Amino acid sequence: MKLAADLQTFQDRIGYRFNDPALLVQAVTHSSLSSATRPDNQRLEFLGDRVLGLVLAEALLGADPGATEGQLAPRFNALVRKESCAAVAREVGLGEVLKLGRSEMMSGGRRKEALLGDAMEAVIAAVYIDGGFDAARGMILRLWGDRVGRVEADARDAKTALQEWAQARGQVPPVYVEIAREGPDHAPVFTIEVRLAGGESERSSAGAKRQAEQAAAKALLARLEKRDD
């Protein structure tokens, strides 16, 4: 099987060339385009999630031999969560090579967070099946790069931290309000405002509500912590 030019180039971006190109084709095929003769990437996604978890758990243990399980768990979650997988997918241009059905393509599937994250996990599984664990580990560590080293800062969940800040001061949990939704249906931008009972608030915009909520919480928390110093 000969790969199309875009997938040939994609192999260069991930630093791995397939012995069985059909595995890569399956990894980038969304269920909206699957058929009896064209399997989608859902089974590969299931496997890739486990391979990714093992590689990054191993990397975290090696990076900080003295860390406790309580310290490692949030770091691990930050590295393997869907947003992180989607971010890596964007960096290697995975969205550009996805094989999507017409409806999914028209709705902006190449930019969807969950779809990109799932496809990235599927690519990991395809490399694992094609080249073995060492090949998958090498690719993951290359693509995740310095994320392992700086994960401590990324591991903090801003919404949880802000809620803990409020509770420690006897306040009710923060409230998140959708202020605006702009842009076309296939690529919306949400503006979310987080509010505390004391009157403090911050706004942030992103392509997904969860991202906007996290960004707003992070901005408000940073302002509150600076005020408390």
Its pTM stands at 0.75
Q: How confident is the model at residue 1 (pLDDT cuts 50, 70, 90)?
A: confident
What distances in angstroms separate CA 187 from CA 22, 48, 192, 205, 226, one per listed residue?
31, 27, 16, 13, 34
User: Are 140 and 31 in a shared domain?
Assistant: yes
Would you state the pLDDT for residue 132?
98
User: Are 106 and 210 in a shared domain?
Assistant: no
Q: Which residues pair with 134 in a beta bridge?
A: none
User: Are 33 and 80 in a shared domain?
Assistant: yes
How far apart (Å, rounded) are the C-alpha atoms in residues 217 and 206? 13
What distances in angstroms separate CA 44 from CA 27, 83, 128, 229, one per listed residue?
7, 18, 10, 48
Would you state the pLDDT for residue 35?
83
User: Are 178 and 87 in a shared domain?
Assistant: no
- Two structure tokens written together for 203: 């706004």
- Number of Cβ within a 10 Å radius of residue 7: 17
pLDDT, mean of residues 57-80? 91
pLDDT, mean of residues 155-169? 84
Q: How confident is the model at residue 108 (pLDDT cuts 50, 70, 90)?
A: confident
What distances in angstroms separate CA 46 from CA 39, 52, 87, one per listed residue?
14, 10, 19
Would you state the pLDDT for residue 211?
84
User: Are 77 and 173 in a shared domain?
Assistant: no
Lowest mean pLDDT among 4-18, 69-83, 86-100, 169-183: 69-83
Would you state the pLDDT for residue 37?
84
* Residue carrying the six token digits 């664990």: 133
Catalytic machinery residues: 49, 121
Phi and psi of 4, rounded to 5°? -65, 160
Mean of all residue pLDDT scores within the chain: 91
pLDDT tens sequence across 124-142: 999 999 999 999 999 999 9
CATH number of the domain that residue 187 is part of:
3.30.160.20
